[in-house]
A and B are shown apart, each in its own frame.
Chain A
Amino acid sequence: MSAVLERQYRRTLRSYPPSWRLHNEDAIIGTLLDVAEGENRTRARVSEQLNLTVNGLLAWVGIFIPAAVRDGVASVALATGTAFGIVYFVFFDWAPWTAINRAAILPGNHDFGPFVNSGVVVCGLWAVAFILAVVGQHRFTRHILVLVILTVIATPFVNQLPFAGWAGPSSTNLGFFGLLAVLGLTGTPQRRIQLSIGTGIALLGLIAIFAQSGVFHRFYMGDRSFWTQIFYGSNLLVVLVGAYLVAIGFGLAGKRVSASVIALSTLPWAAAWLVGVAVTNGVALATAGGAAVLIAGFFASAMAILKRSGFEIIVRRRDDSR
């Protein structure tokens, strides 16, 4: 029976990188079998397999992205998601100053209780995730971030139901929240004071941008307006290029962790920019996307051929590269 269980565990451990398995597989299998024996189990628990799969995937990430970088990226993502959630809620979900005109501006749309749309659920989850992270409940923070991702995936389907028909949240905003949640899951915010300060700064920055953009107008502008009127194509591109220059500056100064955190934290913004470009210039983006797929396909084929020829490809991070 132990052999069956061992095979089951070895199958699950395939989610780990080969280099990790080479060094640790037998040791972790020993521990897994010890735990199963201690609990008089002959089958692997689903939660156990899920935990191994998630940690295996994180080990892949760990090869390319050191833990310190992931923790920094997770902190920035949590701060950004929380701040964006608050401004989204106030300006696009609640916006009480637009209530009188909303029915005329959004004909045929239903309200989500006192709110414009169901985005309040995602915003609420972000607020809970932030509070849990600040009080150090990182495990529950992860659970809430997974809930954010599931809500983001489910919302477009729920919005199609007859009773729904809310004005938003737009796919760009949902995608932005979802990507931030994915980044938030890649690490653990280690410095809670900095997380709180960072969230405050991000919030003040977003409020300033919103305020000077005239969103306090009595007419409801729609939740796409953040990406079409404030952070639209060229505006966002300038911000992204600025961030990459700062990252390069940190890199040149030898601060590789800070440089990597800045570069990786721009991912959700870069994705939003790409969506904007796709909407306005779909042909150019499709060409670039096609070229990227071709290049990726070429490398994947080359790897497959090498593997079939008997080569072993092991990617391992140097011990002193952290």
Chain B
Amino acid sequence: MAVIYRSIDYISGMADNEMREPTFLVLTALANGKKHGYALIREAADLSSGRVSLKVGTLYAALDRLGQQGLVAEAGEEVVDGRLRRYYELTDVGAEVLEREVSRLESNAVQARARLRLRPAVMQVVASWA
């Protein structure tokens, strides 16, 4: 119950609560299915074209935090070559939060593109005044 309240708080606070890029990348990486820690690190690097290189300590801190917020959940474990792999998955609340963030970014991108399209016209007017 506490997780649900926290998640509702989180979503209602999203209007002025911007998501950090590593968080966005982790949630995005989990959007198409459950993944373990190493897969998340590689996906975050791929999604950001190598720009974001998540350190393991940072990833687990983020997963702890996202777990407390009810955005991700543990989704089983398996042992591969003697190493424990714990899987994580996006919760429904996490998917909703990611959806909102994507809409916000899309809206910003549309605005930016529209203004950039106006730029040559503005520059021509300024040049004609000079």
A127 within 8 A of B: no
Residue interface bits B1-31, CB-to-A below 8 A is 1, else 0: 1110010000000001110100000000000
* Chain A contact surface mostly: helix
The 0/1 profile, CB within 8 Å of A marked 1, for residues 39-62 of chain B is 001100000000000011111110
Give chain A interface residues in 36-72, CB to chain B under 8 Å: 38, 47-48, 51-52, 54-56, 58-59, 62, 66-67
A26, A32, A136, A322: the one contacting B68 at CB < 8 Å is: A322
B16→A30 contact, CB < 8 A: no
Inter-chain contact B64/A193, CB cutoff 8 Å: no
Kindly count the residue-residue contacts between A and B in the assembled complex, taking CB atoms under 8 Å apart. 84
User: Which of the residues A27, A136, A320 comes within 8 Å of B84, measured between beta carbons?
Assistant: A27
Chain A residues, Cβ within 8 Å of B80: 30
- In the assembled complex, the CB of B53 is this many whole angstroms from the nearest CB of chain A, namely 10
Residue in contact with A28 in the complex, picked from B18, B20, B56, CB distance below 8 Å: B56
Chain-B contact segment, one of A184-192, A198-206, A267-275, A297-305: A184-192
Taking the nearest CB of chain A, how far is it from the CB of B62, in angstroms? Answer: 10
Which A residues touch B86, using CB under 8 A? 27, 30
Report A7-51 residues with CB < 8 Å from chain B CB. 24, 26-35, 38, 47-48, 51
Assess the B37–A28 pair: CB atoms within 8 A.
yes
Residues of B within 8 A of A56 (CB): 57
Q: Given A31-B41, A319-B2, does the pair A192, B56 have CB atoms closer than 8 Å? A: no
A190→B84 contact, CB < 8 A: no
Please give me the residue from chain A that is nearest to B22 by CB atom.
Answer: A139
Residues of B within 8 A of A48 (CB): 55-57
In A112-171, the 8 Å CB interface with B consists of 136, 138
A145 to chain B minimum Cβ distance, whole angstroms, is 16
* B64: chain A residues within 8 A (beta carbon): 59, 62
Q: Which 3 pairs from chain A and chain B are nearest by CB?
A: A320-B2, A31-B37, A34-B38
Residues of A within 8 A of B (CB): 24, 26-35, 38, 47-48, 51-52, 54-56, 58-59, 62, 66-67, 136, 138, 188, 190-194, 319-320, 322
